Structure 1
Amino acid sequence: MFQTFDVTARPEAAAPRVARLRAWMATQDLDAFLVPRADAHQGEYVAPRDERMAYISGFTGSAGFVVVLRDRAAIFTDGRYTVQVRAQTDPAIFETVNWPATGLADWLPGALPDGGRLGFDPMLHSVTQIEGLRKLSGLDVVAVSNGIDATWPDRPAPPNAPMTIYPQALAGKSATEKRAEIATALQAAGVASYVTNQPEAVAWLLNIRGADIARTPLPQCFAVIHADAGVDLICAPEKAAPITDHLGPDVRITAPADMAALLGGLTGPVGHDPASCPVALAEMLTDAKAIPDPFALRRARKTGAEIAATTEAHLRDGAAMVRFLRWLDHERPADATEIDVVRALEGFRRDTNQLKDISFETIAGVGSNGAIVHYRVNEDTNRKLGTDTILLVDSGAQYLDGTTDITRTMPLGTPPDGAVRAFTRVLQGLIAISRARFPVGVAGAHLDALARAPLWMDHRDYDHGTGHGVGVYLGVHDGPARISRVSQVPLEAGMILSNEPGYYREGEYGIRIENLIHVVEAVRPDGGDDRKMLRFETLTWVPIDRRLIDRALLSPDERAWVDRYHADVMSKIGPRVDGAEREWLTAMCAPL
């Protein structure tokens, strides 16, 4: 279903909302109040009732935070949203801060007087975040109730969708096996139990899914897993009612209202991850012990069954993408707009009869809209496709057997000056990651420069990571592994990542090419050292538009990679389409 921006999140609505918040701050004797783009689960995507940053500022990006002072306010967000944040916020109210280059700890000392009181909601900030702020001298960081909630008269109700069972055949392990695995890890860490606020961890552990968050099949819940493999699942009882038999007697249901009593009554060291555990949750524990998250890496290392399942999902999605791209070339109406593109693509995915949902709001940006990295079309920004420009489409699907994420950039008539060269440089970066072979222990930070080097040769770059982790019928962004300058998480076999270099010329066009890849063990060639190496295998099979490739820029090895990739697209997707679609695919997959 096509969705526009929430009309309540607009720049002109900010002034009275900020005024109400400041009036509330005065009653709490606060000099500043922190508004994160987060909920109690610290995930990237939040329910409508938790869109506090959008409510107060108008900015709808998926990362950032706002700090409101008595006489000024600032919004912090990263390079992906440079254009968007200016378009969606009122500069007379909010100054924009380039984050994380400038952090809150850098900005606050010059903004608040000595002894200034900064209020925060302890359910929305992790232990690590608040510990960092409390180290600042001359600042009083105080836990308070939430000022946005107190001044938001029509705040939406909490989501309460029923939980569903995720098939063991697709998961590759039973919930019993997973609980035993985590219990063993807790014993080794010297804790009697572990509390998690992360729904993706609970969904993975218990082989369940939900529908509390748009585009991501997560159940909003908390859980405590014990060293005896028992689990206390903290959620509204009615949410778990449909799956009681699946959960079994070792999984006990506790209502959210009873969570404090449950956590306060736990004996023995109780593990928690300070980087994700909310302050309020940690303070409920009488014997807390900080330990690494025991779920994250285990969830990231996909089972053979998960890889097989998502492989099929990507082939199905590839065929839907081919049908869409042919429609774009030959059947779209003469006056087609970005909204038409979004609707058409979702329609082709729905035609598979296996689509559960799209995996995020489709990005369809023509011309300068494509230069907004996380652009999302609405009725106000909707633009006709036109000619002599390029179109960037970043989209994905949620199928029961896999989560997809793909970006393709296509010419609409004659490409703008410089676009073909920039596209080819981006393609070279994608090829470099796709072909990478690397030792065990290498992290995403070590590989990120491979994707950027071709652009660097032209004095260009992009302000987002090269790749993020991806779940299997879970989050399209699912850590902890990434390909980025800052990721120190070693890559391991079974991890699924995106490979998506890009280039954005503000006011003109945007380019991004994205495939999903997964990590596998590399076979040692003759003459190679006797050491373990890893490489990537591709999951996404959709043509890369040959009309935007400058063949002269590609090396012989790069041209051979493109030809092999397109031959594989033809062999894998060709049997799934026919007629005019297969004819179009054949032409698009012709050797360079």
Structure 2
Amino acid sequence: MQPQSPLAALRSLLKERELDGMLIPRADAHQSEYSAPFDDKLAFISGFDGSAGLALILADRALLFVDGRYQVQARQQVKLDEFDIHHLHDEPVHLWLRDNLPSGRRIAFEPMLMVNSQYESLRTSGCDLVAVNDDPLNEIWTTRPAAPRGAIRPMPIAVSGESTASKCSRVAKALDHAGADYLAVTLPDNIAWLLNVRGSDIPMSPVPLSFALVSAEGGVEWFVDEEKLRQLDSSLLESVSIQRPEAFIARCQQLAAGKRFLLDEDNAPVAVRFAVEQGGGAIKWQADPITLMKANKNDAELEGYRACHVQDGAAWVNFLAWLSHEVPLREAAGNPLSELEAQEKQLALRKACDNFREQSFGTISAAAANAAMCHYHSTPETNVAITSNEFYLNDSGGQYSNGTTDATRTLNFGQVDAQRRLHYTAVLKGFLSLISLQFPQGTQGHQLDAFARRPLWELGLDYDHGTGHGVGHCLLIHENPHRMAKKVNPWPMQPGNILTIEPGYYLAGSHGIRIENQVEVVASQPGFCQFASLTLIPIDLSAVELSLLSEQEIAWLDEYHQRVRETLSPHVASEARPWLIEATAPVRTQRA
């Protein structure tokens, strides 16, 4: 007898419990973008392993909701005879439920995996939401990996720039201002920042999976597996109360009577709300104040970003110089370089950097049509050759002991057709339009997004992802709250914020283009800000229609490339220096 598939096994379980369906998000209890294998429930049930998505499993059908980045990938990874693919934002699940199911259907969800804003939207669907607290997939996921227990390390104050005591005092003042008695902290990067620690539960995401409660007096209860604490000294451990993670919800309920908890409705599990309300407490819905504190970098953090980008830029130049030699050589020999080979070489060059610890995310090494998938990751099954007549896109970054990097370059090694040249030029012009912009201090991300899109819009083209995101300091590669995208982002930008600028264009089955620099928001004229590039990597101009660039765009490129050349020349390998000089030559020289 053939064993049941995960989908069939879950349906049997739902039938036993008299449930009509179940929601399975791509989320853990901390809303991590990248989850530990233990928490990859969506991948287990569907086969889709992207960083954002949600499955709705019903008795007679299954639906997978993913955003624009994953529309192609989802159709490649899941069985399309089992799952219908929908857009996570254009057709959200609560509207699908409202429009397609009779009211009163019993739909299960895990309250530790759903935040309050999601819960409230789902309540409008007309379905009866049934909270299940016993992790039903444990019954059918027989090969489930163990929960992570990665060691936690201290973050020296020379790198973090502020003591834990000072940070806790600032949070206590924010609680007092909000009229709250406790802050429930469920985001691991906020806990890592607050306690000046870094974790290793999830590769490339150096945060400890844990929970915390901060009181209005500045006291901290840390709900963390004690096995993770073996590298920490006693001074930190004596300043906080340590409890098991499993005790977090019960402790919230225990403390709740007559107290007010500050909860972030977009991050805190709705299970916390239920516990506080059941314990007789009140809730103040407000963004976790740590999130904004963490995003406003101090001088020590900013210096770390600048220093690690010199190391990362040198590794990039060594890699690009190697690529420029290997791609045509290997192609001529009939043994073309592959995506995976390039990826492995780049990682080896980064590992040679003194302060490199690990990648900041899985490298996107994508040639030809593979690059049309925004978050493609090469595998032995999908690995293709890098050739002279197709674009090669590389999006990668590093976690260094003093900062985090993220950059993308799209490369051309030969001749590309007129359409590709036009697309590449439009992406570059959008990138230049935004990175050279001066804007009033306090401007919000969505107010700048169109500057990067306009050259594409003029061609009737667009891209289905954000234009920029915050980057953590030795933390998460996608850091809240700042973001540049079409969607409203109400957080004002100010000097000390770190973001990316990364417009792109993707033509399914043909090619993908993205150019990305990490930037620092700096003061310019009184009351205004501008972007200063942290990324120091030459921009490939070989596929650009140079006649379409304005004098201002050319001036920016020349100034940037001069800075790249002068900064990196002492740090790159001697054999890469000639390539660096050529790649950063003035545009007018290349135009001639």
In the alignment, is the contact (CA less than 8 A) between 1:216 and 1:475 conserved in 2? yes
User: Contact between 2:355 and 2:402, CA under 8 Å: does it hold in 1?
Assistant: no
> 1:568-583, aligned counterparts within 5 Å?
568-583=563-578
Corresponding residue to 1:288 among 268, 278, 282: 282
Q: Provide the rounded CA distance (Å) in 1 between the counterparts of 2:95 and 2:429.
A: 37
Q: Secondary structure at the match of 2:434?
A: helix
CA 1:326–1:14: 2 relative to 1, 3 Å:
farther
Contact 1:390 1:416 in 2 (8 A): no
Match of 1:479, SS state, is strand
Instruction: Pick one of 296, 308, 312 that aligns with 1:313.
Output: 308
1:76 aligns with 2:76: no
Aligned counterparts of 2:564 and 2:297: Cα–Cα separation in 1: 24
Question: Quick check: 1:272–1:288 contact (8 Å CA) kept in 2?
Answer: no
Given the two structures, how large is their TM-score scaled by the length of structure 1?
0.94
Answer yes or no: is the 8 Å Cα contact 1:338–1:385 preserved in 2. yes
Q: 2:518 aligns with which of 504, 516, 519?
A: 516
After TM superposition, the structure 1 = structure 2 runs for residues 128-527 of structure 1, keeping only pairs within 5 Å, are 128-137=117-126, 139-144=127-132, 145-266=134-255, 268-285=259-276, 286=279, 287-290=281-284, 291-331=286-326, 333=330, 334-486=335-487, 487-524=489-526
Distance of 2:437 and 2:172 partners within structure 1: 36
CA displacement 1:271-299 (0-9 Å, x = unmatched): 21122111212222221312321111111
* 2:184 match: secondary structure: strand
Q: In structure 1, what is the Cα distance between the partners aligned to 2:6 and 2:121? A: 28
- For the residue of structure 2 that corresponds to 1:481, the secondary structure is strand
Alignment identity in percent? 39
Output the CA distance in 1 between the equivalents of 2:110 and 2:511: 40
CA-based RMSD of the aligned residues comes to 1.5
CA shift in 2, pair 1:90/1:432, >3 Å: same
> Could you tell me whether the CA contact under 8 Å between 2:224 and 2:245 is conserved in 1?
yes
What are the equivalent positions in structure 2 for 1:54-69 lying under 5 Å apart? 54-69=43-58
Q: Which amino acid letter does the alignment assign opposite residue 87 of structure 1? A: Q
Which residue identity is paired with 2:584? C
Bigger shift: 270-279 or 39-48? 270-279
| Conserved? CA contact 1:493–1:520, under 8 Å | yes
Shift of 1:335: 2.5
CA distance in 1: counterparts of 2:535 and 2:157, whole angstroms: 24
Give the deviation of 1:34 after TM superposition: 0.1
2:269 maps to amino acid: P
The answer to whether the 8 Å contact 1:25/1:147 transfers is no
Shift of 1:244: 4.2
> How far does the alpha carbon of each residue in 1:179-224 deviate from its partner, in whole angstroms, 9 at most, with x for none?
1100111111111111111100000001000000111101100000
Counterpart CA distance in 2 for 1:534 and 1:585 is 30
Alpha-carbon displacement from aligned partner over 1:519-564 (angstroms, at most 9, x marks no partner): 111124xxxxxxx111111100100012122110101100111111
Question: Which range moves more in the overlay, 245-254 or 185-194?
Answer: 245-254
Alpha-carbon distance between aligned partners in 2 of 1:538 and 1:464, rounded to the nearest angstrom? 21
CA contact 1:14–1:57 (8 Å) conserved in 2: no
Structure-1 residue corresponding to 2:590 = none
Alignment pair present for 1:18 and 2:13? no
Residue 536 (structure 2) pairs with residue 541 (structure 1): yes
Structure 1 residue ranges, 4+ long, deviating more than 6 angstroms after superposition: none
In the alignment, the residues of structure 1 paired with residue 427 and residue 517 of structure 2 have an alpha-carbon distance, to the nearest angstrom, of 12
Farther off after superposition, 332-341 or 28-37: 332-341
Cα distance in 2 between the residues matched to 1:252 and 1:505: 53
Q: 1:381 to 1:39 in 2, by over 3 A?
A: same
* Structure 1 residues 289 and 336: alpha-carbon distance in aligned structure 2, compared to 1, 3 A threshold: same
Distance 1:572 1:483 in 2: 28
One-letter amino acid matched to 1:99? L
> Which residue type is aligned with residue 452 of structure 1?
R
Aligned-partner Cα distance in 2 for 1:533–1:15: 61
Q: List runs of 5+ in structure 1 lacking aligned partners.
A: 1-12, 525-531
- Identify which range, 490-499 or 117-126, moves more after superposition: 490-499
- Counterpart residue type for residue 474 of structure 2: Y
1:245 Cα deviation after fit: 1.8
TM-score by length of 2: 0.94
Where does residue 8 of structure 1 map in the other structure? none
Q: How far has the Cα of 1:240 moved from its partner?
A: 2.2
- Aligned match of 1:115 in 100, 104, 122? 104
Q: 1:416 to 1:245 in 2, by over 3 A?
A: farther
Q: Specify the SS of the correspondent of 2:569.
A: helix
Residue matched to 1:10 = none
Alpha-carbon displacement from aligned partner over 1:390-439 (angstroms, at most 9, x marks no partner)? 10000011101111101001113222441122111111111111111111
- After superposition, what is the alpha-carbon deviation per residue over 1:487-541, rounded to whole angstroms, capped at 9, x for unaligned? 23221221110100001111111110000011111124xxxxxxx1111111001
Alpha-carbon distance between aligned partners in 2 of 1:196 and 1:278, rounded to the nearest angstrom? 10
Aligned partner of 1:50 in structure 2 is 39
How much does 1:249 deviate?
Answer: 2.9
Cα distance in 1 for partners of 2:139, 2:309 equals 45
TM-superposed deviation, 1:98: 1.5
The SS at the match of 1:33 is strand
Please state whether the residue corresponding to 1:216 is helix, strand or coil: coil
**Aligned match of 2:84 in 89, 95, 103?**
95
5 Å matches for 1:555-570?
A: 555-570=550-565
SS at match of 1:345: helix
How far apart are the structure 2 equivalents of 1:289 and 1:143?
20
Unaligned runs of 5+ in 2: 588-592
